[in-house]
Structure 1
Amino acid sequence: MVYVTRGLLDVLLDLAEDAEPKELDVTLSSTPAEKFDTDLGLDPETPVLTHFVLPEAGWPVSAVFGMDIGTPAGRGRARFVTHPQGRLEVTQRDHLAAVVLVAVPPWDERSYAAFDRSGRQLELVVLDVEPPQESLA
């Protein structure tokens, strides 16, 4: 089972619509359920997808050295990819992770799903909660 916040999913679908007809590939980060102010009714260690890393972060170094420096260490075990002219499934061209959220037009409630890296569909649960506040200090 994969958990994602409503806010993150809404932002990702907006990004996908804005990027169309180009494909989008975004690294996602999670927050353990225990970090939320609200009791989610989940095991405390359960990851909830809450954040994304801008696709352009670290691009120049990635292009030259083939290293992804735009993703913070320990994060990015999930990806959000779009198929503007494709089907709602994982393809061989997708940048795979442990969990891959795939979206297709029209970018609404029926146009996204979660998959594991082998292409098996996973149950996706959208939570109407705000992630905990983070600070840089």
Structure 2
Amino acid sequence: MSDDTTAVGNETTPGTETESDRATDRAVDESERQRVHVTRGLVDVLLDMAEEAEPASMNLVLAPTPAGEFDDDLGLDPETPVLTHFYMAEAGQSVSAVFGMDLGTPAGRGRARFLTHPQGPFELTERDDLAAVVLLAVPPWEGRTLAAFDRAGRKLKLVVLDAEPPREELD
């Protein structure tokens, strides 16, 4: 059977999809949504910062770069977000305090957060600032004590990529 035909009953009809094909596509889509991609460099910096900040907790906004913007082929769909940057919480705080607006994070960024729980637990709590994706770390500040969660607290698969994000230049 060629790639552009699918089985329907005992016959093959070009261009038709079976319910099984649609279920497989939905499972692949769901599997991709349950993955969070992050560069090793960002993970290393975040864990180092968490260790230096201990016993204080951290709460940083993370920003992605589409996989297609990397110089190297990451083997991902070009639109797949890869977490590559963070924004310091202090940026824009004086304006935020007066006007209640977060001006420290560029528009369209910040759908992910990095949080630490220096005294535990290794799960999201009701006190945490949530985002679509939350990277949570606990001591000892290592890769095995870093995990990704969705806003409902469900654990996601964290994929650490050995890739350098594209260089950004100021105009």
Range of TM-score over shorter length: over 0.9
Aligned pairs, how many? 137
1:99 alignment counterpart: 133
Q: Alignment RMSD, CA only? A: 0.7
**2:57 is the counterpart of 1:23:** yes
Match of 1:67 among 101, 113, 121: 101
Question: Segments of 4+ in structure 1 off by > 6 A?
Answer: none
Alignment partner of 1:89 is 2:127: no
Query: How far has the Cα of 1:64 moved from its partner?
Result: 2.4
Q: Secondary structure at the match of 2:102?
A: coil
User: Aligned partners of 1:66 and 1:100: how far apart in 2?
Assistant: 23
| Structure 1 position 97, deviation (Å) | 0.5
Q: Does 1:51 align with 2:85?
A: yes
Q: Which has the larger helix fraction? A: 2
1:115: Cα distance to partner?
0.2
User: Structure 2 length normalisation: TM-score?
Assistant: 0.79
Deviation for aligned residue 1:110: 1.2
Bigger Rg, which one: 2
Specify the alignment match of 1:13 in structure 2. 47
1:98-117 aligned within 5 A: 98-117=132-151
Please list every run of 5 or more consecutive structure 1 residues that lacks an aligned counterpart in the other structure: none
Other structure's SS at 1:12 match: helix
| Runs of 5+ unmatched residues, structure 2 | 1-34
Quote how far apart the aligned CAs of 1:55 are. Answer: 1.5
Deviation sequence 1:92-136 (CA, Å, 0-9, x none): 111110000000001012111000000000000000110000112
What secondary structure is seen at the aligned counterpart in 2 of 1:48?
A: strand
Structure 1 length as normaliser, TM-score?
0.98
